[in-house]
Chain A
């Protein structure tokens, strides 16, 4: 999710930049075409008027006068350096200059464009010329080198390219900044949502009170969380109160049953009373667990909680529970690093015990339960990682979030003993210690991963 966010806004920025550049290129191309057409038009008019003057001279003085005029124009240092002239006689023999093509133009004249070698080697110059057949069959070419026009266009192209690159760079920069800003605003909210959905219900999105769209979303989001928390704590308080209020009468019931049991000599009745006592004990145990859960959730962890050697604690728990597994040929395998966490010793022991108890309960005979303890480091944080993995039936992914709820037991496990508070208690303890818990697939089986802050 975190990786997706910047790419979404980056994509958006790229699209905007792309459209921006496309528009720029289109406008540039339009201007280029318009300007070059205009320049060509001007040249044609120049050439045309030149040709008209020359044809007038020919009409008055004949071939000799024209030749004379042309030669004078070519040699005149004051004349137009870009002007090009050529003249052939009726048989096609060159009288002056060079004709680009032998084909005779019609009496109405024809526009031609050709390339000419420039004085600088390797370069060519574009020439725009008008050829026409004169009265006695001579062909006159009047032209204009497009040097100046081409230079102007080249300068324009260069300027456009520089502008384009600058605009692209600027566009990318602005796009990047915007995407970063959007991503930052969204990531803040996204991170909060992620942590809240993983159980930190007390968390709220930070508001900057700018009252912009993001801030409003964050406000609404916080309002929604407040509501959810209210509802949840209402439910929790109800269960806790029920547990508390029912405990006293239940205790009395238990005491009366025990009293009865003590004074009963009939073994059949004794047996029935024992069963009733066991049921009551089970109920009391559930209430006890509920109350413990409520207390753990209500109290924040003390700042100066003692530093505990978690490895020793896990070893103790494994030593205590391994014999239960051994009865069904289940081996508890451990790989424990020497790590320390701050916290409540009894609570953490309860956590490990509940996870082990669960794993051993669901592990098939002749299998193994793996307990590992290490330090998991990534770019943001270093955390203590405790994993308990079995090879049992596992928990379907859709039901994984549910198993942490109070009294929530999977349909398939209804028959087995337990009240469905074990994992709720585990999560409460993990949250109480500022950690996180995740259920993963052990393929087959369940892998419980508990992350606790390293201190």
Chain B
């Protein structure tokens, strides 16, 4: 993917750019808002990583200008403050996702994959069935099957599995799961998600030779072969 990074802090920018390049992406870096807006509106990118606080042209203005011009580029907004108001404001202005500094690179990478994939599939019809690695989810009947065998799930477990399946093959972080499946933005204090994942894992991997719900060290989880 070709990614534009607009970030004024050189250290953070270097850290992100290095990580993204290692993931195999091409990265362009702009250190102020004006240059960022120029690049974003003239070059074709797959995603934009945008800092909220920028010298010159501020991140929110850049975001609004791009969206106002009808640019549908997937945008991940970065901020130093995890204020709910800022998050809501950012999402309303048209950001696809929001990430609070400091973050682990894995978190940024996972969220970036998430918004790019969502953007690509947004044109398609909303599926009624999700399928991956022998696991099948009927979204209408709220039924889960693995290789034909039915799995009994609690409503929340179903949502958890649905989210994992929608992001099959990608790394999903704990925070992403908390936000998407429980829909609250908070500090969980403990690794409460791990307990839910291990319960879900018991249900979907029990009795099968190959586990499909993997823990990715230092990042989160991944569903797949």
Contacts and interface: CB of A to CB of B under 8 A. Distances in A.
B3 to A, nearest CB: 18
A418 B218 contact: no
The winner among A251, A281, A327 for most chain B CB atoms within 10 A is: A251
A251 B101 contact: yes
Nearest to B104: A258
The majority secondary structure among interface residues of chain A is: helix
Interface string B18-37: 10001000000000000000
B189 A262 contact: no
A295 interface: yes
A354 B102 CA distance: 22
A443 interface: no
A115 to B, nearest CB: 96
Interface string A414-446: 000110001000000000000000000000000
A285 interface: yes
Contacts of B187: 285, 288-289, 292, 350
Interface stretch (A43-51, A341-349, A395-403): A341-349
Interface string A238-268: 0000000001001110110011011000000
A167 interface: no
B196 interface: yes
Interface string B62-101: 0000000000000000001111100000000000000001
Interface residues of B, number: 29
B189 A353 contact: yes
B190 interface: yes
A320 B185 contact: no
A337 interface: no
B82 A292 contact: yes
Given A255-B15, A258-B104, A316 B195 contact: no
Given A346-B184, A422-B189, A259 B104 contact: no
B188 interface: yes
A346 B183 CA distance: 9
Contacts of B81: 291, 295
Nearest to B106: A258
Interface in A302-356: 316, 319-321, 323-324, 327, 344-347, 349-350, 353-354
A284 B81 CA distance: 13
A255 B83 contact: no
Contacts of A138: none
A155 to B, nearest CB: 85
Most chain-A CB neighbours within 10 Å: which of B156, B186, B190, B196?
B186
B218 A277 contact: yes
Interface of A: 247, 250-252, 254-255, 258-259, 261-262, 274, 277, 281, 284-285, 288-289, 291-292, 295, 316, 319-321, 323-324, 327, 344-347, 349-350, 353-354, 357, 417-418, 422
The 8 closest A-B pairs by CB, nearest first: A251-B102, A350-B186, A255-B15, A349-B184, A323-B195, A346-B185, A357-B189, A349-B186
